[in-house]
């Protein structure tokens, strides 16, 4: 095999590898989107009280396996970029950023809901204490 033949084969192999890498990134991005919560799970919740609503919402906001798939997409994208394997990777970069932003929004909202789920029972308890004190004060006045 001549030197130019070997180079041609290497170029063909590199081209195949680049195509497979792009395909891997796209497949992982699709899997990430598929793993995102269903919009109805975030919007429609059934519960008996506020805490139940907050817990259901917190569960609905869980990005689940989407984060793992996004990580894999970024891994293959980074490898392809460093190898200069993509002719144009702008679309992949945009898609990665969009999924990444959505996961970040889910995580931030989930954290806020978790904070609220922790605060609401405390507020209820404080209100109950205030209510009891008010009742006790009312009883004291009626005793006089």
For residue range 76-93, list pLDDT tens digits in order. 999 999 988 888 889 999
Whole-prediction pTM value? 0.81
Least confident window among 1-5, 69-73, 76-80: 1-5
pLDDT in tens, 5-52: 666 688 888 888 889 999 999 999 999 999 999 999 999 988 999 999
Q: What is the 3-state secondary structure (H, E, C) of 10-65?
A: HHHHHHHHHHHHHHHHHHHHHHHHHHCCCHHHHHCCCCCCHHHHHHHHHHHCCCCC
Query: Quick check: 115 pLDDT over 70?
Result: yes
The pLDDT assigned to 37 comes to 96
- Contact between 73 and 25 under an 8 Å Cβ cutoff? The reply is yes
């Amino acid at each position: 095999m001549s030197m130019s033949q070997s180079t041609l084969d290497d170029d063909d192999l590199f081209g195949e590898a680049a195509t497979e890498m792009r395909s891997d990134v796209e497949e992982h991005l699709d899997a990430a989107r598929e793993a995102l919560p269903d919009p109805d799970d975030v919007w429609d919740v059934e519960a008996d009280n506020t805490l139940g609503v907050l817990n259901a919402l917190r569960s609905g906001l869980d990005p689940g396996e989407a984060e793992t798939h996004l990580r894999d997409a970024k891994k293959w994208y980074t490898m392809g970029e460093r190898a200069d394997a993509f002719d144009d990777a702008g679309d992949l970069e945009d898609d990665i950023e969009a999924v990444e932003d959505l996961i970040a929004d889910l995580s931030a909202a989930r954290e806020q809901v978790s904070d609220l789920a922790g605060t609401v029972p405390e507020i209820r308890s404080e209100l109950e204490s205030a209510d009891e004190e008010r009742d006790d004060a009312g009883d004291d006045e009626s005793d006089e």
